[in-house]
Every structure is written in structure tokens, then in C-alpha cells.
Structure 1
């Protein structure tokens, strides 16, 4: 049950006469009703209020629920006198900026006290537009357009706009009636003049007048108000706990995914097996492969990278693993557009070749299976094609989003491509591993026109390297567990 549903349950019990017991010694609402009608007639005769001709009789088929025998149903227009406000013309400055508070719905706290307003009107507006009629502090306000049924109590003398009514109970020497209405009107105003709910619709003068109000004896109203004020703080405490739980449930799948990935790159997701060798042995194979590729002219010899220091190591790894830099174990390079700006329309007209952007990587959830735009042959010619299986990492805008290409594609310089030396290494392991570096990369990014990270810095990041067989077992375990995290969402 949501906090609002719990609050509604309390109010539903209140207006059905089930929140507090009925006491015969407190009389009946019929007696109060007669007193209200007598007072209404007196005020009409004295010209202080106008007779409301919009009020309809109450029939059995309009009553939405049963109430105790000591209660009565009464139309809102027979219970209170209410008045609508105005909005002076905006184009005429003489009406605005005075010292008389003017209330809009945006000023009204939900079921609270209104202390101040964003706008005010002049004495001239008060005289000519509002007829010098103020809503004094203590007045109950209710919105009946847009946010239907929002109530507030004025703490200052004010006027208000035409979407709000000032409510003055006809009989209420102690303020009990006002407080009873304060609590039940947000709930009861959703019913309208029949059993059909009107939630989300705008009330008008006729539907306001004909709102059905379940009326208890005055003493019982006082006890109902006291009980509501006893229970609502408990509802607030429930809401705080419920919100924390909802926030936990919302974050749990992603937090679980992060935890699993973190275990994976720290060597805690699967066991280490001595027969699978060590990362040092694998690293020596990689260096031999690089020397072969350099000799054959397939890759260029890079400058030697500095040794990894203790200060660079973010966490402990198993003894059979080792720390490496990404550029030592694979090709790491940015996307490019050599001759023209990457967004030049001439590169995309009648395009047929996938062009990947940062948003495509962010939405991929591991594997890029879709693209949002395509290069034509001119676009492809001045760029570069990355093969299917390439790990794509965003280094601008959304820093550190990672996914693997499912097809050959081009991409801009805001995306970096990484291809581990194969078959010595597994791209999938590095894709999952880089997912854990999102926070680290974000902290390393520098702010220029937009957030980005320098590829020279990226190429020197210390990365954990397990033996190849263990990489494959880690990937298999991740592909078993991560879909379960998605299902939790």
C-alpha cells in the first residue's frame, strides 16, 4: 500500500463514520443541519449572502456510500458560503506589484498553511477588481481547477485567483467545521455530484455547490479531526520508510549489477585454477604476438609505457593475475572524421553504413545491435571501419558507457574502440571490466566545452588481467547472472 493509499484509507474511514465511534449524547447531525439552514436563511434575508439556486435535492441514487444514522448528507453549498477570486489583466501594470498578497494554486501548500505569495496586487486592483473584499487570515482555500481539491489555510489576509474558492462554514464558532473540511475536501472533491469520480476534471460553480458532504454531529467532527491529526504523522513516518524502500528497490538491480561486475574484475566471481596458468605467462604471449604484428607491418610500435606503481592500483587481485595497461594488450584508438566535421550532412545523405554515436553505446546494454544514423560512401571513406566485436567506450558527453559492436561500423572521436589481441584475449572480459571503470573515468574527465577524457590518459589506466581460461569462465558467469539483474528491474 502506498502512503497516499494509506492516507486515503484513513480519510475514507473518517467520512464513512468508521474512524471514531458514535456517541448518542452528542446528538445528531440533523440538529446541526437545522441550525445551519436557519443561519443561512438569516444571512440571505439580511443580504449578506445570495441564495444558491444551483443546489439540487439529494436522492438515494446520488449517495456514494453509507454513513451512520446520526449523520446526514448535505450539499456543500448548503454547508458553507464560498467565493471565487479573480485575476486582474496582466497587461495593465497598475494592478500588479502592490502590497496585497494574491494567491495562485502554485502558492498553495498541499494540506498546509499559506504564509506568503509570489505575487501581489495594488490597492487600486483591490478596490476595482476585488470590491475591497479580502479573505482574512484563517480562511480555508480550495482549488477547483487543474489541481482539484488542494486545500490550504491562509496565514495572511489575501485575495486569490478564479481557480480558488474561499470557504466560510455557515455555523462554526469553534473552527471545528473548517478543520473537518480541511481534511476531507481533498478526498471528497474527487466524487462530484454522483457516484462517478471526477478525478482530473475541473469543477465549476454548480458542481462545487453540489458536492456531497457527509456531516457528523459537531462534537464527533472534533473527535474525527483529532484522530486524523493523531494518525497523519504516523502516515508521514510510513511514507518516509516506504520512500526509502522504494529507492532501495529502484537502485537494487543496478547496484547488484555493479557489485557482480566488481567481484568479476577483482577475481572474486569464480575460483582460480592453477592448471590454467598465470596472467604473466599470458602477457608474455601477448608481447610475442605484438612483436610479430609489428614485424609484419600490421601495427605500429608504440612508445614504452611506464611501470604501474602501487599508487595506481585501485584494488587487490589474485596472485595469478597481473596489472597491465590497455594499450599493452590491445589496440585502443578514437573514432575519427578526417576531412569534414562529423555532423556534416553531406556525409549522411543516402547513407547505408552504420555510424555509431555515444547515445547508441549508452542504450546498448552490453551489445550494440542498433544504430541511429548511417554514413554514405563519402562518410566511410574519410572515417574508419571498426569490425564487429570491437569494444566501444564513450569518452565525451556520457563518460564511460561501454558496449560491444554486433556489426562493422564507424564512430566519431567521442567514442574509443578497443580490440584485445586475439585469440590471446577475450574482448567480452574487457567490456565487462570497463563497465566497472565508469566512475573512475568520470572523475578523470576534464571539463571544456563538454565533459571528456583524454585518450592518452585512458591508454595508461591500470587494468586487471586474468589468465585466458579464467577470463572465459568469468564472462560465462556474468552472462548467467547479469540477465537476472535486468529481470529484477
Structure 2
């Protein structure tokens, strides 16, 4: 059906022409015989083409110098008898016709917006020409404010994200809350658990990532925390709804940013979590994501953080450490590729900045207090 481009070929207009507002895009052409056969779908200059599948309802007024051709099945054409009302018609189309047509077409298998039979039966209130101009000018004026608000909301969201990152950065540098001289130094915690432990220098000799307060201590990640890999049965065992004797398995891979629960027979759940356990995404598109687990199992795409000494680390402090730029940056260093990810041995050379236990709790309280304020702002932006 399609032929190579040539001076004698006719263009086939596609959805991307309407979506991108560009009549030159596309690489499909037909010969004259096929064009004559499909001439009922031919376009003319100043026709309005509308995308009707996927990204639906995008309109584009074809320019005067378009190449002769036809539309494909993902487009529809609107040809006005009077081109002078084009701007007002497009305004009405965007704000009224698409919405009403969508209501009329609910329940249909194919969502074309607007469906032909519905569009043809619509009555359009047509103001005098000068009033059309005034309406368009006023709408454009107010839309400029809406666009400005949308831009400001996007900037605010980015600022909130950066602020959270800065809060975490201050937290792991010992600068988010004041140190209390009455706190037991972190080194004493380590000595009490392991008298033979040799502490790292606190960063003053330049070998460690940065300086930390005197009451803190740098220690090897694997000396206080361990990483356990998950397990995953074959796809035959997955269920989408809970059943008796089934257990949740939190699946990250291929599901986006947040874990999605599926279900497997409980006797196959060789790796399980308790509610609140910390899971780390080990590879793939979610590499570096940090999750609080629910009760259940976890798969090979995740690693579970195991606390060797429950009285040494406040679990929420570790959680925020994994969200911080220090961990995320180190993760990029040790991960060969997103697919290869990391394994438990990769953590052997990673340092952990350990505050006194009481200060860990104060840090977490301050983080959660500040994050709550920022989350409230973010939620207000989305209303």
C-alpha cells in the first residue's frame, strides 16, 4: 500500500501531525491510484485534524501550503464552511464539545473524541464576529494566568523535592539538630557490643566522605547492617487477588516506583518481611528506591536491610540514610548497570555515619516534622 516518497507520492497524515502541530512529520506515502481510491479522506488547507486514539482530542489547523494527501484511521477531519470562525470553533471544541462528546460516548468500546454521530448533532452557539474576538481575547488572557500557576506549581514541586534532599543531607552530616553533650557517644555503643571494634577516623584525615560531629562515628556498613537478597517463584504461582494460604509478595520490577502486591502460595515464600522492614530496590528501573515493607514476602528485585544490633540503630534513621544523597551516590558507584544492580558484597566498603542513639531519634523526629509540612504544601498544590 505504501510507496517511497517522491514528487508524485501523496502524504498520509498521522496522529503525530495533530499532536505536534506539524504538518511535515511522517514517512508514509501512497501513489495516485491509492489516493484516488481514498479521496474521501483527503485533506485541504485550513482543515482541522483531530487525534482520535491514544492521545485523543488534539487539534491542528493545517496550513495553506500543505502537501496533498489523506488522513489515516487515527485522525478525523473537521472542515468549516466559514474559515473565519475557526478560532472560536476550536475554543468551543476544546472546552465544550470534547467534554460533552466524552459523556455521550461512555460505555463504548472505542473512545473516539468526539464520535462522528455525536459531533454532527451538536448545536453551536455562534456569537457575532466581533464578540467572538472579544471572547477569544478574554479566554486567552485568563489562560495565561492558569499557565503561570501551572508553571509555579511545577517549580514549587521541584523546590519541595530539593528541600527534602537538603534536609536529608543536613541530617546525615550532623547539622539538622544540635548535639547534646549528655548523649552517650556512638563509639561507646560500638565498644559495648564489640570491644575489639576499631573505629574509622571521623573524616578529619580526608579519607572518609566528610567530617561528622565528634560524638558520631564512621563505621563500615556491614559491621552494623546486613543485606539479604530476596527470592521469587516462577510466574505460574502469581495471583492478583488474595486467597486462603496465600501470602503477599511485593513486586517492584516492571511496575514503576512503588511496590505492587501479588500473591504466592505461603509454602513458597522463602523470604518474608515484617511490617516496617526496609527494602531496597536492587536493579532495574527502580534501582535505588527505598521502601517500607508490609507483612509478607519479597522478591529478588529487592534486598532486605537486616539490623545486626537492634539497640544500636534507630530503624527510621537507617531508612532516611538510604534515601539520602550519600547512599544514592554510592549506589551509582557500586552498581555496574541498572540491570546488574548491586549485591550484598557491594556494601562491604560503604561507610555509615552513626550518631548517638538519642540523637538518631531527634533527627528522625525533625525530619518527619519538616517532611510533614512539605507534604501538606505538596498536597495543597495538587487539589
TM-score with structure 1 length normalisation? 0.57
> How has the CA–CA distance of structure 1 residues 403 and 312 changed in structure 2, closer, same or farther, with 3 Å as cutoff?
farther
One of 315, 340, 344 as aligned partner of 1:427: 315
2:132 corresponds to 1:245: no
Query: 1:321-350 CA distances to partner (integer Å, 9 max, x unpaired)?
Result: 1211121224x032355xxx6437579997
2:85 match: 181
2:213 match: 318
2:7 corresponds to 1:101: no
> How has the CA–CA distance of structure 1 residues 167 and 155 changed in structure 2, closer, same or farther, with 3 Å as cutoff?
farther
Distance 1:478 1:102 in 2: 57
Contact map agreement 1:96 1:122 (CA 8 A) in 2: no
The higher radius of gyration belongs to 1
Distance 2:218 2:245 in 1: 42
Contact map agreement 2:229 2:302 (CA 8 A) in 1: yes
User: Which consecutive residues of structure 1, in runs of 5 or more, have no partner in the other structure?
Assistant: 1-91, 170-177, 292-303, 365-369
Matches within 5 A, 1:26-37: none
2:278 corresponds to 1:391: yes
Matches within 5 A, 1:72-221: 99-108=9-18, 114-115=23-24, 117-130=26-39, 139-143=45-49, 146=52, 147=57, 150-161=60-71, 163-167=76-80, 169=82, 178=83, 180-189=84-93, 198=101, 200-203=113-116, 207=120, 211-216=124-129
- TM-superposed CA distance for 1:474, in Å, is 1.6
One of 326, 333, 354 as aligned partner of 2:227: 333
2:166 corresponds to 1:259: yes
Contact map agreement 1:401 1:438 (CA 8 A) in 2: no
Contact map agreement 2:16 2:25 (CA 8 A) in 1: no
2:175 corresponds to 1:268: yes
Contact map agreement 1:278 1:321 (CA 8 A) in 2: yes
> How has the CA–CA distance of structure 1 residues 224 and 420 changed in structure 2, closer, same or farther, with 3 Å as cutoff?
same
Q: Which secondary structure state, in structure 2, belongs to the residue aligned with residue 313 of structure 1? A: coil
Distance 1:205 1:418 in 2: 61
Query: 1:427-458 CA distances to partner (integer Å, 9 max, x unpaired)?
Result: 22212212214532441353568241132222
Distance 2:304 2:96 in 1: 60
Distance 2:118 2:279 in 1: 62
The RMSD of aligned alpha carbons is 4.7
2:234 match: 343
2:358 corresponds to 1:463: no
Q: Which secondary structure state, in structure 2, belongs to the residue aligned with residue 214 of structure 1? A: coil
Matches within 5 A, 1:431-446: 431-436=319-324, 437=326, 439-446=328-335
Distance 1:463 1:389 in 2: 21
Q: Which secondary structure state, in structure 1, belongs to the residue aligned with residue 312 of structure 2? A: coil
Distance 1:361 1:124 in 2: 48
1:11 match: none
> How has the CA–CA distance of structure 1 residues 124 and 347 changed in structure 2, closer, same or farther, with 3 Å as cutoff?
closer
Distance 2:96 2:236 in 1: 56
Contact map agreement 1:141 1:167 (CA 8 A) in 2: yes
> How has the CA–CA distance of structure 1 residues 313 and 342 changed in structure 2, closer, same or farther, with 3 Å as cutoff?
farther
Contact map agreement 2:275 2:294 (CA 8 A) in 1: yes
Contact map agreement 2:3 2:29 (CA 8 A) in 1: no
Q: Which secondary structure state, in structure 2, belongs to the residue aligned with residue 415 of structure 1? A: strand
Distance 2:11 2:67 in 1: 7
2:324 corresponds to 1:415: no
Query: 1:271-301 CA distances to partner (integer Å, 9 max, x unpaired)?
Result: 101111322223322323x89xxxxxxxxxx
Distance 2:216 2:62 in 1: 65
User: Which consecutive residues of structure 2, in runs of 5 or more, have no partner in the other structure?
Assistant: 103-112
> How has the CA–CA distance of structure 1 residues 164 and 464 changed in structure 2, closer, same or farther, with 3 Å as cutoff?
same
- TM-superposed CA distance for 1:149, in Å, is 5.7
Q: Which secondary structure state, in structure 2, belongs to the residue aligned with residue 464 of structure 1? A: strand
Contact map agreement 1:335 1:414 (CA 8 A) in 2: yes
Q: Which secondary structure state, in structure 1, belongs to the residue aligned with residue 63 of structure 2? A: strand
> How has the CA–CA distance of structure 1 residues 362 and 461 changed in structure 2, closer, same or farther, with 3 Å as cutoff?
farther
Distance 2:339 2:176 in 1: 36
